[in-house]
Amino acid sequence: MPKFKHDCKGCSFVGTDSQGKDWYLHGTNDQCRTIVRRLSNHPEDYQSVTIGETVKITNLEVTALRMGFQLNDRELIRYGQKFVQDAASWKSVKESRESWLDWNDESLFSNCSLQS
């Protein structure tokens, strides 16, 4: 049973966490789903994120995953696509804050021609 009022007809109540906040899932498996964390009865007092909308996973998504939330295949594909698009858009290794390449490997971009 939800602790706080949430009047969105598209949301399904998932549960209440150990901090007393209600969790909802908006959408279905064949849509872009949104995680909603309701903090109180005030209409504006909530956190939400559309799953797989950003390259870097948000804290809200991480929290939901650690509580056992399962991503569907579509969401996993969206994360992968966004990650690949972001990595391919780097103009240099230095541009990437979380690069796994050494900055000294900058020449890899100019000396290599990959054929698909």
Q: Is residue 33 part of a domain?
A: yes
17 by DSSP, 3-state: which?
coil
Tell me whether residue 2 is in a domain.
no
In-domain check, residue 5? no
Question: Token digits for 45?
Answer: 């007092």
Two tokens, residue 14: 């998932």
Q: What is the mean pLDDT of residues 37-60?
A: 88
Report yes or no on 6 lying in a domain.
Answer: no
Average pLDDT estimate for 30-53: 89
The pTM score is: 0.64
The predicted model gives 17-46 an average pLDDT of 89
Percent share of the chain, pLDDT over 70:
75
Q: What is the DSSP letter of 83?
A: H
How would residue 39 be classed by pLDDT, with cut points 50, 70 and 90? Answer: very high
Structural domain containing residue 26: 11-110
115 assigned to some structural domain: no
Q: Number of folded domains in the chain?
A: 1
Arithmetic mean of pLDDT, 23-42: 88
